[in-house]
């Protein structure tokens, strides 16, 4: 148990982040429909999210080895937060696809 104790805050933070991301995925589709995006464009946003998720899974191992798990988590959480804020500022389907990929 003592070997897991340092990871508990990181796992809780990851759980909160993933829960918020799940809510965001639903709300982006609803907001896109409200803004007048077509159904294929909204579907494309979901596709870009999962393509970015796949690419991130392949790249994160190298990043973890280079800088460690704390810095990696901090940088990627900051990127996700900035992307969420960008979705509020820019109402453009191409930008939303790019943000969902990143």
The predicted structure's pLDDT at residue 30: 92
The predicted structure's pLDDT at residue 44: 93
Q: What pTM, to 2 d.p., does this model score?
A: 0.73
Model confidence at 1: pLDDT above 70: no
Domain range for 22 is 5-101
Please state whether 36 falls in left (phi above 0), alpha (psi between -120 and 50) or beta.
left
How many folded domains does the chain comprise?
1
Average pLDDT for 37-54 = 92
Q: Give residue 99's Cα distance to chain centre.
A: 8
The predicted structure's pLDDT at residue 41: 94
49-80 residue pLDDT tens: 899 989 999 999 999 999 998 999 899 889 88
């Amino acid at each position: 148990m003592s070997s897991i104790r340092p990871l508990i805050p990181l796992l809780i933070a990851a759980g909160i982040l993933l829960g918020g991301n799940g809510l965001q995925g639903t709300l982006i589709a609803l907001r896109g429909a409200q803004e007048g995006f077509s159904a294929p464009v909204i579907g494309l946003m979901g596709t870009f999210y999962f393509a970015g998720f796949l690419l991130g899974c392949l790249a994160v191992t190298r990043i973890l080895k280079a800088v460690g798990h704390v810095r990696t988590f901090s940088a990627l959480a900051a990127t996700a937060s900035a992307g969420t804020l960008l979705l509020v500022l820019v109402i453009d389907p191409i930008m939303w696809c790019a943000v969902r990929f990143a």
